[in-house]
Structure 1
Amino acid sequence: MITSNLRINQLSDDAYQSYLRYLEVLDDKDIDAYAAFLADDVSIQFGNAPAVEGKAAVVEMLGGYWQSFKSIEHDLTNIYGTDRSYVLEALNHYERHDGKKVTVRAVAFTDKDEDGLVSSIRVFGDTSALFEA
C-alpha cells in the first residue's frame, strides 16, 4: 500500500489506522482476514453490476475475483467523509498473471454499521484493461 500520495484524509486517526489494516488485508488478498471486517448483511457493488448481498456471498465473489490477478496495491490519494461513511479515491496498481501491470483510477464508498463493521461498499473504476487478452 502506498500512503505517501495521500493529500486529504478526513478520518480520525483511529478510523484511519483501522482502514489501513482493512486495505492491507485486501492488498494481501487474505479473504479470511478481510471477512472479519464485514457485517453479516454486507453488500458490495462494482459499478453498474448488481450488488452482491451477504457476507458469505461477498466472500465467495471476492475470493474468485482476487484469483483473477496476481497482485493489487492501493495508492491512496484522498479520503473524504466521516469515520462511519467515507470515500477513498485511489490508484489501484494491479499485476496480471501474465506480468502486465495495470493501474486503475477508482473510488470506493464504504459505510460501517453501529458495531464498526463494513455494511456497504460501492466501487467505481474501469478494470477492463485488467482482463484484456
Structure 2
Amino acid sequence: MSGNAVLRVFRSVDSFDPDEFGRLLAEDATLVFGNAEPLVGREAIVAGIREFYSTIGGLRHRVVRTWQVDADIIAETEVTYQRLDGKDASAVAVSIWRTRDDGLISDYRIFVDLAPIYAV
C-alpha cells in the first residue's frame, strides 16, 4: 500500500461520511476503536462510525509517519476533532490495519485517548 493509499484512508475518514469509509472495507471486516467492543462486518462498522460522528462536529488527520509490514499498515497521526461546542481538540492516534490482496481492509484498529474531545 503506497503513501497515497494511506492518505486515501484518512481522506475517507475525514470526509465525515461513514459510507465513504465503508467502501474501503471488506464485507467481513472488523474494527476495534480503543477499548470498545469490536465491530464486525461492514454494516456494523459504518453504523458505529455514524454514531461516533454524531458526537463530534468534524475531524481531520495529519499523517506523522507510517510503516508497512507485509499487508499491515501502521499510521501515527495527529487528529484535530471539532467538538460540538465548536472548539477544537487534538489527540495523537495510532491506526493499524490489514489490507487483503483485493485492496479492501479486513481488520482496523484505532488507539487514541478521546478524553480531550469530551472534556467539559
Q: SS where residue 97 of structure 2 aligns?
A: strand
Over the matched positions of the two proteins, sequence identity in percent amounts to 27
- Closer/same/farther in 2, CA of residues 83 and 19 from structure 1, 3 Å limit: farther
Q: Deviations over 1:51-110 (max 9, x none)?
A: 111111000000110121111110111101146211000110111010111101110001
Matched positions, count: 120
Q: Which residue of 2 aligns with 1:98?
A: 85
The TM-score with structure 2 as length reference comes to: 0.92
Superposed counterparts of 1:28-107, under 5 Å: 28-82=15-69, 84-107=71-94
Q: Which residue of 2 aligns with 1:127?
A: 114
The TM-score with structure 1 as length reference comes to: 0.84
The alignment yields a C-alpha RMSD, in angstroms, of: 1.4
Out of 20, 34, 40, the residue aligned to residue 7 of structure 2 is 20
Q: Shift of the alpha carbon at 1:16?
A: 1.8
Q: Which residue of 1 aligns with 2:98?
A: 111
User: Structure 1: which 5+ residue stretches go unaligned?
Assistant: 1-10
Q: Shift of the alpha carbon at 1:48?
A: 2.0
Moved over 4 A (4+): none
Cα separation, 2, equivalents of 1:18 and 1:43:
19
